Amino acid sequence: MTATDPTIASAKSERGWYKRNEIAVTPWLFLAPAILFFAFYVIWPIYQSIAISFYDWDGLGEAQYVGMANYVELMDDSAFEVSLWNNFKWLLFYLLAIPGGLFIALFLNQTVTGIRIYKSLFFFPFVLSQVVVGLVFSWFYLPNEGLLNGVLGLVGLGPVNVLGDPTMATYGIIAAGLWPQTAYCMILYLTGLNAVDPEQIEAGRLDNAKGWKMLWYIIIPQLKPATFIAFVVTIIGALRSFDLISIMTNGGPFGQTRVLSFYMFEKALSEYGFRMGYGAAIAVVLFLIMLVFIAYFLWSMWSEEKGR
Amino acid sequence: MFPTPIEKTPRSWQLTYQSLLPIALIMWLLPLIAVAVFSIKPAVDFTQGNYWGMPSSFELFNNYGQVFFNSDMPRYMLNSVFITVPTVIGAVGLSCLAGFALGIYRFKANIWIFFMFVAGNFVPFQILMVPVRDLTLDMGLYNTKTGLVLFHVAFQTGFCTLFMRNFIRALPIELVEAARVEGIAEWKIFWYVVIPLMKPAIAALSVLIFTFIWNDYFWAVVLTQGPESQPVTAGITSFNAQFRAAYHLMSAGSIVAALPPVLMFFLMQKHFIAGLTLGAVK
């Protein structure tokens, strides 16, 4: 990279407004397209959704202002209650991906021959689309044709119809979701383990720290950045669960596997109706739940930035 | 290294570990292996209840031939390509620009704009659904690939800008300062100094976004319908409706639908993992 003479010459002769303000103006020129796109398709729609949630609207005709009526109706909606509860189940059980991923990462953090292939094969469920994961697991769970019941039959258990049982179905879907999510956490921890300070491990060994103690007091604190990212992506993933539910049970049996994201879609945009305002109100509730986490993530990032 | 390297452990554990590895892998991939086996079975195996045994005949070419020549699958795949590739180019391009601005320049609004992108990237899709669908309808882009691409570019810009900005922050700023002292125009600094250094980030982000967009289902269902413009994730449900209960064909179809991102991953593994784990280490 060399500065050619013509560049310098033109920079000196051109003392226009842009040249004088170049450092101040350039970032805005570079940001403009991204901000415009983002504002148009993401920021503005958030505001619009909140506005729509105060209206009764079928998506075609005239929208009618109803104030808080949609939210009041939500309070008495048992389907909404089920969805909300399921969202909490998702949040709670989805977090199992983090210890699960750490466990597999510890198992695979060796240097035997072929380990790289093992690592990528363990990781690769994450690359599959949730639609395919959903299909794979719904066939895995099939009462007759499914491999799960085949295996259970071998040890004298079953058969169970995981997705047909209202009490079990949500857990069955979460288990399917945990499969790629654990793989994701695993790869985060494998990278984290690579960067663990060997001197500290040696020092720990000299102090007779072994096994669990070593893991808890020396390794896990050093994995904090990986844990933070694993936490962020798992929470987001849990609250975004839509594809799996839509593919595996379509909300059933008896609507027992709905979550807010799915219920919202069902209310606003499916054969069950076009209640845009009511759907928007559900989305706002989901958004508020997410907002708690978003605020926490941003706060952590902000303290990090300041610490630099 | 933790846990203790296997070379330094007793011989018996070494042998156990070596044999445990393949067993664990098979158990981990069991649901997928079942689908792969399903996809090479003949239809007759399912009617006779031979679900998990050896296929009675080897029907790989027949089943996959059906998928490729007797269904809308190729069409859906092509749609996915025409949705995914422009999105990758658009989102990575926009975020190179935005990431440069946020990574290099110090100005008051910098952190707030950055946080806007980060926060926007985390919002639930459902809060955008009704307005975005409306917007797309109003622009006459409902059920077109363009409509889907425009939205994806906008939404992915959030994540991409986060990624690019953090990557650029880690670059040596002295390079830029040296170039400025030389009197080089800012856009030339971007193009000739920063972009060449960003190549690994561009590669990593491209594979990641390719996979994310290829695998998107929600927006495909909200913004498109029918084989003219639906990507393969949404198409697979109509495919499955066409071959209801024909598990051998549905399995083959799903494997075909999943293949491009899987290939992408195995070919570009280094970049893919570098992208996913950026920030996992300080």
Q: Tell me the mean pLDDT in the region B10-16.
A: 90
Mean pLDDT of chain B, nearest integer: 91
What's the CA gap between A105 and A191, in Å, rounded?
A: 9
Q: Which residue of B has its CA nearest to A145?
A: B51
Predicted confidence pLDDT, tens digits, chain A (308 residues): 444 455 554 555 556 887 788 888 889 999 999 999 999 999 999 999 999 999 998 878 888 899 899 999 999 999 999 999 999 999 999 999 999 999 999 999 998 888 999 999 999 899 999 999 999 999 899 888 788 888 888 888 878 888 999 999 999 999 999 999 999 999 999 999 988 888 888 888 888 887 888 888 889 999 999 999 999 999 999 999 999 999 999 888 888 999 999 999 999 987 767 899 999 999 999 999 999 999 999 999 888 877 76
Instruction: List the 66-105 stretch of A: residues with Cβ below 8 A of B.
Output: none
Contact A265 B126 (CB under 8 A): yes
* pLDDT band, very low/low/confident/very high, at B44 (cuts 50, 70, 90): confident
* pLDDT band, very low/low/confident/very high, at B43 (cuts 50, 70, 90): confident
Q: Tell me the mean pLDDT in the region B201-218.
A: 94
Instruction: List the 89-118 stretch of B: residues with Cβ below 8 A of A.
Output: 94-95, 97-98, 100-102, 104-105, 107, 110-111, 113, 115-118
Contact B2 A193 (CB under 8 A): yes
Q: What is the pLDDT of residue A1?
A: 43
Contact B279 A229 (CB under 8 A): yes
What's the CA gap between A216 and A68, in Å, rounded?
A: 49
Whether A246 and chain B come into contact, CB under 8 Å, resolves to: yes
Which residues, at least 6 apart from B220, have a Cβ–Cβ distance to it below 8 Å? B148, B230, B231, B233, B234
* pLDDT band, very low/low/confident/very high, at B165 (cuts 50, 70, 90): very high
Distance from CA of A7 to the nearest CA of B (A): 7
Contact A129 B28 (CB under 8 A): no
Amino acid in position B4 = T
- Whole-angstrom CA distances from B173 to B32, B35, B106, B192 are 47, 51, 12, 14
Q: Extract the tokens encoding A298.
A: 């941003």
Whether B48 and chain A come into contact, CB under 8 Å, resolves to: no
Best probe of the B interface among A120, A127, A304, by most B CBs < 10 A, is: A127
Predicted TM-score of the model (pTM)? 0.91
Give the 3-state secondary structure of residue A111.
coil
Are the beta carbons of A264 and B129 closer than 8 angstroms? yes
What's the CA gap between A106 and A104, in Å, rounded?
A: 5
Q: How many other β-carbons are positioned within 10 Å of the β-carbon of residue B121?
A: 20
Are the beta carbons of A113 and A197 closer than 8 angstroms? no
Which of these ranges, A68-77, B46-55, B177-186, has the smallest mean pLDDT?
B46-55
Residue A30: its chain B contacts at CB < 8 A? 97-98, 100-101, 190
Count Cβ atoms within 10 A of the Cβ of residue A154 and give its class: 0-12 exposed, 13-18 middle, 19 or more buried.
exposed
Q: Tell me the mean pLDDT in the region B208-233.
A: 93
Distance from CA of B139 to the nearest CA of A (A): 13
Distance from CA of B190 to the nearest CA of A (A): 10
- Whole-angstrom CA distances from A200 to A63, A189, A221, B1 are 64, 18, 11, 10
Q: Tell me the mean pLDDT in the region B260-277.
A: 90
Contact A127 B262 (CB under 8 A): yes
Runs of H (alpha helix) within chain B: 11-28, 30-38, 43-47, 60-69, 73-104, 110-122, 126-138, 145-169, 173-181, 186-188, 195-197, 199-214, 218-223, 232-242, 247-267, 269-276
What's the CA gap between A249 and A269, in Å, rounded?
A: 17
Size of interface A-B (CB pairs under 8 A): 309
DSSP A64: E
Whether A42 and chain B come into contact, CB under 8 Å, resolves to: yes
Q: What is the pLDDT of residue A6?
A: 52
Are the beta carbons of A74 and A282 closer than 8 angstroms? yes
- If you search the block for the tokens 């072994």, which residue do you land on? A210
- Whole-angstrom CA distances from B171 to B103, B105, B179 are 9, 13, 14
Best probe of the A interface among B9, B108, B127, by most A CBs < 10 A, is: B127
Q: Extract the tokens encoding B278.
A: 């950026």
Whether A154 and chain B come into contact, CB under 8 Å, resolves to: no
Q: Which residue of A has its CA nearest to B19?
A: A112
Best probe of the B interface among A147, A249, A285, by most B CBs < 10 A, is: A147
Q: Which residue of B has its CA nearest to A176?
A: B31
Of A12, A127, A247, nearest to B265 by CB-CB distance is A127
Whether B36 and chain A come into contact, CB under 8 Å, resolves to: no
Which residues, at least 6 apart from A154, have a Cβ–Cβ distance to it below 8 Å? none
What's the CA gap between A290 and B156, in Å, rounded?
A: 18
Count Cβ atoms within 10 A of the Cβ of residue A204 and give its class: 0-12 exposed, 13-18 middle, 19 or more buried.
middle
Backbone angles phi, psi at A263, to 5 degrees: -60, -40
Q: How many whole angstroms from its chain centre is CA A247?
A: 18
Count Cβ atoms within 10 A of the Cβ of residue A161 and give its class: 0-12 exposed, 13-18 middle, 19 or more buried.
middle
Of A45, A112, A229, nearest to B6 by CB-CB distance is A112
- Whole-angstrom CA distances from A193 to A111, A181, B47, B166 are 13, 18, 49, 21
Q: What does the pLDDT look like over B85-105, one tens digit per residue? A: 999 999 999 999 999 999 999
Contact B124 A225 (CB under 8 A): no
Of A150, A195, A268, nearest to B130 by CB-CB distance is A268
Are the beta carbons of B173 and B104 closer than 8 angstroms? yes
Of B25, B130, B217, nearest to A243 by CB-CB distance is B217
What's the CA gap between A191 and B277, in Å, rounded?
A: 7
> Has residue B272 got a pLDDT over 50?
yes
Give the 3-state secondary structure of residue B185.
coil
Of A37, A187, A305, nearest to B277 by CB-CB distance is A187
Contact A187 B276 (CB under 8 A): yes
Q: What is the pLDDT of residue A274?
A: 83
What's the CA gap between B95 and B163, in Å, rounded?
A: 8
